[in-house]
């Protein structure tokens, strides 16, 4: 029996140009770089299913690169990190008020939580569950998943079996593609990694 291999192409949305922490705020993406969108469209598998988070910067990017591919319903659980009270504020502004917490959040990510937001471990649990369901529902397919910096890092961390600190060392550019695979039927194993932060 042939082993089921599901391929996920994780695409980060177009830039927002915000100079602050943008999590669940619904800022639009700048999709004016049509050449980059065309390259992405042609690079990604033509038979892939397209899915995104429900935030407009991911949804609109998915539409711009997906085109005639089949689109799945948006998944809210694929959202960016929920920054809570830090949302749309700069590092320097928060560092002046709560330096220990913000440094711990980014330098030793895990259970540290922004006020009113979610910890890194909570982000991983949320996104892992959503991706597991996608893979189980669409096993052996190619999936284009358009989302966010933090959401993509959760899957790189899982696939490479990294610590959170190691995962955060990865750069994830806007309109880049990171590729992961899942083999077999057990969701607690079978993950593999391909290109990370590839810019077609």
In the set 80, 118, 148, 182, the catalytic residue is: 80
Active-site annotation holds for 80? yes
In the set 3, 13, 93, 170, the catalytic residue is: 13
Write out the DSSP string of 56-117. HHHHHHHHHHHTTS-BPPP-GGGPPP--GGGTT--HHHHHHH-HHHHHHHHHS-SS---TTS
Q: What is the 3-state secondary structure (H, E, C) of 5-57?
A: EEEEEEEECCCCCCCCCCCCCCCCCCCCCHHHHHHHHHHCCCCCEEEECCCHH
H or E element in which residue 124 lies: helix 120-137
Active-site annotation holds for 77? no
Which residues are annotated as catalytic? 13, 80
């Amino acid at each position: 029996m042939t082993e089921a291999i599901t391929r996920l192409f994780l695409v980060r949305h177009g830039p927002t140009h915000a100079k602050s922490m943008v999590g669940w705020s619904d800022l639009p993406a700048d999709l004016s770089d049509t050449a980059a969108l065309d390259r992405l469209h042609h690079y990604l598998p033509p038979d892939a299913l397209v899915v995104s988070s429900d935030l407009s910067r991911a949804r609109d990017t998915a539409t711009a690169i997906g085109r005639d591919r089949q689109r799945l319903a948006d998944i809210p659980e694929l959202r960016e990190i929920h920054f809570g009270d830090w949302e749309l504020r700069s590092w320097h502004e928060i560092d002046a008020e709560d330096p220990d917490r913000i440094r711990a959040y980014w330098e030793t990510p895990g259970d540290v939580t922004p006020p009113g937001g979610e910890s890194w471990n909570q982000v991983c649990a949320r996104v892992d569950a959503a991706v597991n369901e996608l893979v189980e529902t669409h096993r052996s397919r190619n999936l284009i998943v358009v989302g966010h910096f933090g959401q993509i890092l959760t899957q790189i961390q899982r696939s490479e079996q990294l610590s959170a600190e190691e995962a955060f060392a990865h750069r994830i550019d806007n309109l880049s593609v990171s590729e992961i695979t899942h083999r077999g039927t057990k969701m607690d194993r079978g993950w593999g990694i391909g290109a990370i932060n590839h810019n077609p």
